Amino acid sequence: MTRILATGTFDLLHPGHIYFLAQARTLGDELFVIVARDSNVTHKPKPIVPEEQRLEMVSALGIVDKALLGSEKDMFEPLKQIRPDIIALGYDQRFDAEILEKELGKRGLPANVVRIPLSKQCPLCSTGAIIKEVLKRYG
């Protein structure tokens, strides 16, 4: 069985998230998802939805076999438990695939890193677009 790992914040769950996870799922037999901890989201505004609720929503998706919160100390820690064969990166995730594969190898986690090249195109397929629309309508 090929185990896939996808990661993300998954704040204000939207069709872009579903598209990413569905594309990741096509790469193998099992899809594990690490949901970012509130404390680790430093590259964009803090999530609106608390981590436990984001985890609950991602866990409820039929395409996800197992979802868990990431580590607050070491992003590689949960990977030791999951042991993915493939790590799927979203088109906009800030990781360099080659550097990530080298770091995984150093830790005895020989996973291939695959970038999902596109995102679903729709008016509200990003958290930022949803927030802008809410502010426009109610702000």
Q: Which domain holds residue 12?
A: 3-138
pLDDT, one tens digit per residue, over 91-116 is 888 889 999 999 999 999 999 999 99
pLDDT, one tens digit per residue, over 10-27 is 999 999 999 999 999 999
DSSP string spanning 11-58?
Answer: -S--HHHHHHHHHHHTTSSEEEEEEPPGGG--SSSPPSS-HHHHHHHH
Instruction: Determine if the pTM surpasses 0.75.
Output: yes
Q: Look up the CATH number of the domain holding residue 46.
A: 3.40.50.620
Q: Is the pLDDT of residue 69 over 80?
A: yes
Task: Mark the binding-site residues, compressed into ranges.
Answer: 9-10, 14-17, 92
> What total number of domains does the chain contain?
1
Task: Mark the binding-site residues for ATP, compressed into ranges.
Answer: 9-10, 14-17, 92
